[in-house]
Structure 1
């Protein structure tokens, strides 16, 4: 009986003394500060340099905690979820690196991933990994970020970029999932700084590193997809084949996250495949993905006709100018897309096919001009080249 009364009273007290959810962030912030300051001393090393290094690390940690972090608004707190279980609160970090319980007006650590350096911290020659070394890297990374912020304030963008890159490398060495995301963000900031001084090569490399790290995190898929899409835009005039891979990566990541932006990435990918004369791959994307998806979305239905024109011409290139196949494509797309039937694009392609069948170069050129008028700015280069080659088969003479 007494045990039951004690249990009942404990439950009542637990309900009344649950910590408020808003107290978790200050608790976790303090935890992160303490972890940065708790790096192990290397004074046991027989070398005087190790003691000097330890003192230097302690000074650096004090400077980071008491000067740099307050200026930056304190250490960043990872995304987290708090669940109320009536008698207690449960908090978990979204990257899976820690879980905490709130009870009797306090928060307690249930589990935290240990951060261990990639390098061996030999103690007495034992070769044992130095526990907590990741915390040292984290503190150094924060200091490098502050250096970068100060350099940006002075408009020293080269210096800022270098400091962001150093910060990113240090965050990577610390090992935790949270710090990998910090590293990705630092690489993004480095790209922006390099962009300010038009250093395209190093900037693109930083952006690739950011995408690589975001992709590693199960919740970073959309962020990685956005970066890969940006890389595709940056590379398509410099390295079109690599840009294709970036767009493909973006489309796949968006799709795996159920993000509608996968379609736009696929369209960019397909247009670039056409420019590279990889017509069969482009036609497959148009036929299997782009046309069905734009037809199914009211807001995008008006674009379907243009995609059908592109698909039919890409198929013409893929079949080495088989005009019988082109006419079959026309009939098939007229059937599946009523908006295409009777459209300017449909009529222009029908005129092209008729001129080729009748071996009429003049009619063929007039039909080409109709196709050219379908888009503001005219046909893309790949279509011009494709139709020009067909016109030359009919007659050597005027260009399109």
Structure 2
């Protein structure tokens, strides 16, 4: 088929990537101007002794359960933050720790006794503040706990050398304490001034879930049931993170759903399932999934004493329309072609080929325009010679849906 030239003058051709319109900030983003100061930064104790570490809300604000829940995590020294584990869910500290909350200054203290060598780790605190919806989540910077061997009585012949060594140890401990206080003071002032949370802790492993536009999709939130978990005081929050914004998807507290907290795009499209709470599972079904629903979903589940976060990465795929080839203009013996396909998600691969299947290099990089519906329009330009009346093909490959569409046109100079 011969493809006529549309115009002798090139039209403006500039496409700019546009994201989905951002949602309004949540209340927590507006009002949660707190931070958490954790101390000490490090502590060294002998085996069999006890240690404690503390996290305090800055600026001070008297809070109590259930308005705030504090959770402590630990990770092995030398491991990155992906190895975090909740201390209430590990057998290593079972029966050897306790948590205390000081209401007037909103302070959480972790006490560990009968310390052992395998307790050496970096301990982090996390505060969940439920005065906001979604909850405000604040993390401490961590405390490094080192456990040394127990001291033993020495004989008289070793007394003087050991006394000298003890004096040197005392000197270095004092110096270390001075440095630690200076560092803590600087960190405290910085946190007070910035009003931001410290190093964010990891959430958990993030499973990925693919769905097709128009289908219903179910997201699962799994948590560990402990002996102190209070199912009757359950609070659930589902959030969506996309394009740097946080969107409220579904909220449940005070024994009922809270549809007034939902963003408009999720109204009448979500259903929460609580039948398996006693087994540590809750699920959220999202009906008629849209490409704009794609993003990172975070589930926050809490009672009055504990809280857990789980995440799922959802991708809602939509098929592309068959590619269309259009001649924009010709210049001497060359013609500029444009291939366009639209209404698909996520970004697809667009390629040009000649009649023999050899790949052709486009004149400029492929461009993507994202619409308000969250789908893409993909465009690519190719300059070809009309001397040999070539056949040119444009192909779209959608890897998620295993979709492959091709359109070929014979180009003439007429």
| TM norm structure 1 | 0.22
Structure number with higher helix proportion: 1
Structure number with higher strand proportion: 2
Q: Which structure exhibits the higher relative contact order, with contacts defined as CA atoms closer than 8 Å and separated by 6 or more residues?
A: 2
| TM norm structure 2 | 0.22
